[in-house]
Amino acid sequence: MSQYDKTERLYTLIHKINRKLRNPKFESTDQHILPPVTKVQWWILKAVRERKQCTAGFLAKMIGVRPSTMSQMLDRLEKSGFISRFTDAADARVRIICLTDKGQNIFYRTESKFIEKLAGPLGYLTPEEQQVLILLMEKLAKHFPQQNND
């Protein structure tokens, strides 16, 4: 198998796994409990959670959208009660974003669903195969060019 064929096969498998993780059946059991959160909204919540608080400019760079687009996304998250925005005490021009309790809750519940969904297929691998897969994926990820959102 040529290097091109191996690369194409890997790309196809990564795409296939990603599609299965995004399958709507995954969310159907909790639709009445969890409001729908898009993939991009989930990444925004994740970034805010990891940093404790951040600015819209940081998030726009991380996600790769214009600041005006990020502002609209944040408006929706704020309207849903997942984030709050307040003025920075050091610079009144800057708005700080942080997760609300509701935002923390939706993030963790959604994250746990993603983990549960991946745990099933991962369970078909031996513990040793799981460890090798994780190490190889980490090694592969480390050698991609750095992006603003890494």
Nearest by Cα to 97 from 55, 46, 47: 55
Confidence of residue 97 (pLDDT cuts 50, 70, 90): very high
The predicted model gives 45-68 an average pLDDT of: 90
Q: What is the pLDDT of residue 124?
A: 93
Tell me if 112 is assigned to some domain.
yes
Q: How far is CA 132 from CA 10, 71, 82, 127, in A?
A: 16, 41, 37, 9
Tell me if 8 is assigned to some domain.
no
124: tokens are 């078909």
The predicted model gives 116-145 an average pLDDT of: 89
Tell me if 17 is assigned to some domain.
no
Q: What is the pLDDT of residue 33?
A: 47
Tell me if 18 is assigned to some domain.
no
Distance, in Å, from the CA atom of 84 to the CA atom of 62, rounded to the nearest integer, reads 19
What total number of domains does the chain contain? 1
Tell me if 12 is assigned to some domain.
no
3 state DSSP class of 98: strand
Statement: residue 109 has pLDDT above 80: yes
Range of the domain at 92: 25-142
Tell me if 1 is assigned to some domain.
no
CATH code (residue 56): 1.10.10.10
Statement: residue 11 has pLDDT above 50: yes
Tell me if 13 is assigned to some domain.
no
Statement: residue 146 has pLDDT above 70: no
Q: What is the pLDDT of residue 26?
A: 44
Statement: residue 34 has pLDDT above 60: no
The predicted model gives 72-77 an average pLDDT of: 94
pTM of the model: 0.66
Tell me if 93 is assigned to some domain.
yes
What mean pLDDT, rounded, does the chain reach?
Answer: 84
